[in-house]
Amino acid sequence: MAKYRNVSLVLIIATLVLVVCLQFSVFQRAAARFTASTYIAFNYRSIDLTFQTIEYSPQFGSYFVKYRDQEGQNVGFEVKSKRLPIVVVFDPLNPGA
């Protein structure tokens, strides 16, 4: 029983540390880039996209992550959430979704 308490305590502490860290813009930018990269990896394996830039737009309250494909076309994804950038809101490769 003590083993499960220790594991639970470690998980709770790790979650709290993660939540606190994600309140800083450096970690939010990293989370937004990770979210966009994961989204691309799952949805567009056949397309070779290269990361270009990431920027925060205070007007929209979201991050814009820009990639470039093999033909040199820029593709931008919008990553947004209330506190954590964890949702891809706009996908230019599938605008109807």
Would you list the DSSP string of 36-62? HHHHHHHH-TTS--EEEEEEEETTTTE
Under the banding of pLDDT at 50, 70 and 90, the label for residue 82 is: low
Fold for the domain defined by 25-97:
Nuclear Transport Factor 2; Chain: A, (3.10.450)
Q: What is the percent of the chain with per-residue pLDDT over 90, rounded to a whole number? A: 18
CA-to-CA distance for 41 and 66, rounded, in angstroms? 15
Average pLDDT, the chain: 84
Kindly tell me if the per-residue pLDDT of 97 is higher than 60.
no
- Pick the more confident residue, 82 or 92: 92
Residue spans per domain, the chain: 25-97
Under the banding of pLDDT at 50, 70 and 90, the label for residue 44 is: confident
User: What's the mean pLDDT in 2-6?
Assistant: 79
